[in-house]
Amino acid sequence: MADKQALHDPTLDYRLHPERYRIGRGEQGVLMVEPYKSELLPHWRFKTPAMARDAVEALLAKYEAYTAEDDFVGMDMARKFLQMGYTRSRRYARHASGRKYAQTTRDELPTQEDPEKAESARIFHAAWQQVRSDPAYQDAKRRHQARQARRGR
């Protein structure tokens, strides 16, 4: 059985090789695509709604800068960080430890809603949806996918 090629190479500079970037599903590869990971990760916080608002503001500013540069990889990575802000906030809103399953039995742990983390999730969700529906993002994504198809990937 042949090994599947990794979705992203963490040693590759995707700014220099955007043609090698594969979108993946959801947040796939968000912590592997350099130099974007290093540019975006310091802004990614969700512990409190105030931190989430600051994070969203910074991530959207980075998104706008990538958009101005017609840098789809950066745009998509900013989208992934916003999506990850939403999903992680929701997990911590439901599970204070951040763990969804018990370690020994793999049974799902009981949920309890943390309103502060839930608010952080709402903040990230709104920004994530804003980016996903942005015509500039959708157009850049279509162009990237068309280039990938021409390359036979």
How do residues 92-101 score in pLDDT, each as one tens digit?
888 766 666 6
Range of the domain at 130: 30-102+110-151
Q: What span, in angstroms and rounded, lies between the C-alpha atoms of 2 and 46?
A: 40
Give tens-digit pLDDT for 119-139: 999 999 999 999 999 999 999
Q: Is the pLDDT of residue 34 over 50?
A: yes
Query: Could you give the percent of the chain with pLDDT greater than 70?
Result: 88
**125 part of a folded domain:** yes
Q: Which residue has the higher pLDDT, 108 or 78?
A: 78
CA distance 136 to 106: 42
Q: What confidence score (pLDDT) does residue 92 get? A: 86
pLDDT tens-digit readout, 10-33: 899 999 999 999 998 889 889 999
In a domain, 5, yes or no: no
Count of the separate structural domains present in the chain: 1
Task: Kindly state whether residue 130 falls inside one of the protein's structural domains.
Answer: yes
CA pair distance 26, 43, nearest whole angstrom: 19
pLDDT greater at residue 126 or residue 6? 126
* 92 within some domain: yes
The answer to whether position 142 is within a domain reads yes
- CB of 40 closer than 8 Å to CB of 77: yes
At what angle are helices 72-94 and 135-151 packed, to 10 degrees?
A: 110
pLDDT tens digit sequence for 63-88: 999 999 999 999 999 999 999 999 99
What does the pLDDT read at residue 10?
87
Are 72 and 143 in contact by the 8 Å Cβ rule? The answer is: yes
22 inside domain: no
- Long-range CB pairs of 44-49 (<8 Å, 24+ gap) are 44/81, 44/84, 44/85, 46/85, 46/88, 46/89, 46/92, 46/117, 46/120, 46/121, 46/124, 47/120, 48/116, 48/120, 49/116, 49/119, 49/120, 49/123
The answer to whether the beta carbons of residues 57 and 127 sit under 8 Å apart is no
Report pLDDT digits (tens) over 39-49: 999 999 999 99
Q: Is 76 a domain residue?
A: yes
The contacts found for 8-11 with CB under 8 angstroms, 24 or more apart, are 8/32, 8/33, 10/34
